[in-house]
Amino acid sequence: MAMMNIPSMLLCVFIILANNFIPNLAQKTPPVVFILGDSTADVGTNNHLAQGKLKANFPHNGIDFPHSRATGRFSNGFNSADCLAKLFGLKRSPQPFLFLLRLKSHFHKHLFKGVNFASAGAGLLDETNKNLTVVPLSEQINQFTSVHDNFTAIIGPGKTKEILCKSLFFISIGSNDIFDYFQSKTEIPIDKFITILMSTYSKHITTLYELGARKFGIISVPPVGCCPSQRLFQKQLNGSNVCFDPMNEFALVFHSALDTFLHKISSQLPEMKYSLGNMYRMTNDVIKNPKLFEFENVDEACCGHGDLSAAGPCNRTAKLCPDRTKYLFWDLFHPTQKAADLAAHTLYSGPSPIYVSPITFSQLATDD
Ligand SMILES: *[C@@H]1O[C@H](CO)[C@@H](O)[C@H](O)[C@H]1NC(C)=O
Ligand SMILES: *[C@@H]1O[C@H](CO)[C@@H](O)[C@H](O)[C@H]1NC(C)=O
Ligand SMILES: *[C@@H]1O[C@H](CO)[C@@H](O)[C@H](O)[C@H]1NC(C)=O
Ligand SMILES: *[C@@H]1O[C@H](CO)[C@@H](O)[C@H](O)[C@H]1NC(C)=O
């Protein structure tokens, strides 16, 4: 693999993906899945935040979801949390914690299938998007703590431990901290900020481990400087819709810091297993070679307002692209269902280690 050039590596990815479109049916009972993170994984959490400013529970969002329902997902259909869950044999992502809370008497029945805590706009840092009202990662972990307590109350500590050590914990977070870093024009140098992000990640992973989590599927950040909102920003600055490179460089450094950090912490937490998805590389390869992945447009949003369809959100009055399967981006920030599905298949099957390391998400589930 190391000796292949980039195009043949991509071709090989493509063939592997094409051959892996059927999920692993040998895995009889789906694993229990807990999902934490931001809008890439939010399946309706923010609908339940009364003061929340970041919502997607209106059309054209959800246009390709069953019954064209706008569920709160920032997508035309399923998002990466759903696509991953499907590969593990679930129908879609588990329900949002804030939704389950409202079920009251049925709360317990659902808990054991897993829970999604992800909230659009959330960051590793509590300060990230605080004024837009989101559920930051620290609060998502508090919510998991209460789920852990509910498990313990119902089935006892021994059985809880047994279930949690086999459960999968997917975490997809970091992009919003990077957006905030640039928006706030902070004086903190990038390396210092990355150190703060990693020590926060460390604290959260340690807490989850102490509560019984063992298998972590971690997703790093894509080249956020290439999303339509940032391209529009560049276009307005200097006439060309190029990616905003400083933000991409930050995302790259974030990935390598995360790689180093996970390697280190997994040697300190003896039973921890992890798989790290290189979302930067996956997305960048698609942007560089769209045709290879059957995309035709990787810089504009499919749904939105104005130039690059990135000047306004995807809402009822937004313009829609003619073919949603040809676009990498659904709205000014988020991938289409097709892009999310491609990412999920790559996380699940590899190839490893170029896109997911040290093992794939599928190996994470089956390894004991
Ligand atoms: C939130 O804070 C950011 C940065 O201080 C600011 O740019 C933005 O306008 C604020 N948004 C709201 C809704 O208050
Ligand atoms: C779940 O646990 C939390 C925290 O211990 C508790 O407040 C809540 O009442 C429990 N919910 C149910 C339905 O048991
Ligand atoms: C235009 O944007 C590119 C990419 O960020 C940057 O390298 C270049 O310096 C910019 N040019 C001007 C005139 O601002
Ligand atoms: C949709 O977004 C546009 C652009 O921000 C805004 O002008 C319009 O009022 C919004 N429409 C609805 C129905 O929310």
pLDDT tens digits for 130-174? 999 999 999 999 999 999 999 999 999 999 999 999 999 999 999
Q: With 70 as the cut, is the pLDDT of residue 34 above it? A: yes
Q: Hey, which of 131, 132, 179 would you mutate to test ligand 1's pocket, going by the most ligand atoms within 8 Å of its Cβ?
A: 131
- State the pLDDT at residue 9: 47
- State the pLDDT at residue 109: 83
What's the gap in Å between 236 CA and the centre of ligand 4? Answer: 21
Q: Hey, which of 100, 110, 141, 149 would you mutate to test ligand 2's pocket, going by the most ligand atoms within 8 Å of its Cβ?
A: 149
Q: How confident is the model at residue 107 (pLDDT cuts 50, 70, 90)?
A: confident
- State the pLDDT at residue 19: 43
Q: Hey, which of 237, 240, 241 would you mutate to test ligand 3's pocket, going by the most ligand atoms within 8 Å of its Cβ?
A: 237
Q: Is residue 284 a contact partner of residue 224, using CB atoms and an 8 Å limit?
A: no
Ligand 3 within 6 A of CB of 233: no
Question: pLDDT digits over 323-332, tens only?
Answer: 999 999 999 9
Q: Is residue 319 a contact partner of residue 309, using CB atoms and an 8 Å limit?
A: yes
HSE, CB side, 13 Å, CA atoms: give it for residue 42: 33
Q: Which regions of 155-225 does DSSP assign to beta strands (E)?
A: 168-172, 215-219
Higher pLDDT, 4 or 266: 266
Give the number of the ligand closest to the Cα of residue 331: 4
Give the number of the ligand closest to the Cα of residue 128: 1
User: Which amino acid, 231?
Assistant: R
- State the pLDDT at residue 144: 98
Q: Is 175 among the residues known to form the active site?
A: no
- State the pLDDT at residue 11: 46
Atom in ligand 3 nearest the alpha carbon of residue 245: 5
- DSSP SS3 for 231: helix
Question: pLDDT digits over 68-80, tens only?
Answer: 999 999 999 999 9
Highest mean pLDDT of the ranges 26-30, 110-114, 253-257: 253-257
Ligand 3 within 6 A of CB of 188: no
Q: What angle do CA 70, 73, 76 make, to 5 degrees?
A: 70
Q: Contacts for 141-149 with beta carbons within 8 Å, 24 or more apart? A: 141/36, 141/204, 141/207, 141/208, 143/97, 143/115, 143/117, 144/34, 144/36, 144/115, 144/117, 144/208, 144/211, 145/207, 145/211, 147/34, 147/97, 147/111, 147/115, 148/211, 148/212
Q: Is residue 130 a contact partner of residue 51, using CB atoms and an 8 Å limit?
A: no
pTM: 0.91
Q: How far apart are CA 156 and CA 137, in angstroms?
A: 26
Kindly state the tokens that stand for 85.
Answer: 């869950």
Q: Is 367 among the residues known to form the active site?
A: no
Domains of the chain: 31-366 (3.40.50.1110)
For the chain, the C-alpha Rg in angstroms (whole number) is 19
Question: pLDDT digits over 226-267, tens only?
Answer: 999 999 999 999 899 999 999 999 999 999 999 999 999 999
Q: With 70 as the cut, is the pLDDT of residue 1 above it? A: no
Q: Which residues have CB under 6 Å of ligand 2? A: 107, 146, 149-150
One-character DSSP codes across 247-284: HHHHHHHHHHHHHHHHHHHHHHSTT-EEEEE-HHHHHH
Kindly state the tokens that stand for 101.
Answer: 């809370």
**Helix, strand and coil percent figures for the chain, each rounded to 5:** 50, 10, 40
Q: Is 256 among the residues known to form the active site?
A: no
Q: How confident is the model at residue 283 (pLDDT cuts 50, 70, 90)?
A: very high
Q: Which of 180, 299, 331, 341 is catalytic?
A: 331
Q: How far apart are CA 17 and CA 216, in angstroms?
A: 22
Question: pLDDT digits over 7-25, tens only?
Answer: 444 444 444 444 444 444 4
Q: Once rounded to an integer, what is the mean pLDDT over residues 121-127?
A: 98
Q: Once rounded to an integer, what is the mean pLDDT over residues 302-310?
A: 98
How high does pLDDT run on average in the chain?
93
Q: With 60 as the cut, is the pLDDT of residue 270 above it? A: yes
Q: Which regions of 179-223 does DSSP assign to beta strands (E)?
A: 215-219
Q: With 60 as the cut, is the pLDDT of residue 3 above it? A: no
Give the number of the ligand closest to the Cα of residue 244: 3
- State the pLDDT at residue 108: 82
User: Which amino acid, 263?
Assistant: H
Q: Once rounded to an integer, what is the mean pLDDT over residues 342-352?
A: 97
Question: pLDDT digits over 74-102, tens only?
Answer: 999 999 999 999 999 999 999 999 999 99
What's the gap in Å between 156 CA and the centre of ligand 2? Answer: 14
Q: Is residue 213 a contact partner of residue 32, using CB atoms and an 8 Å limit?
A: no
Question: pLDDT digits over 38-78, tens only?
Answer: 999 999 999 999 999 999 999 999 999 999 999 999 999 99
Q: Which of 39, 93, 172, 175 is catalytic?
A: 39
Structure-derived torsion over alpha carbons of residues 174, 86, 164, 367, reported in degrees to the nearest 10: -90
What's the gap in Å between 238 CA and the centre of ligand 3? Answer: 6
Question: pLDDT digits over 182-228, tens only?
Answer: 999 999 999 999 999 999 999 999 999 999 999 999 999 999 999 99
User: Which amino acid, 256?
Assistant: S
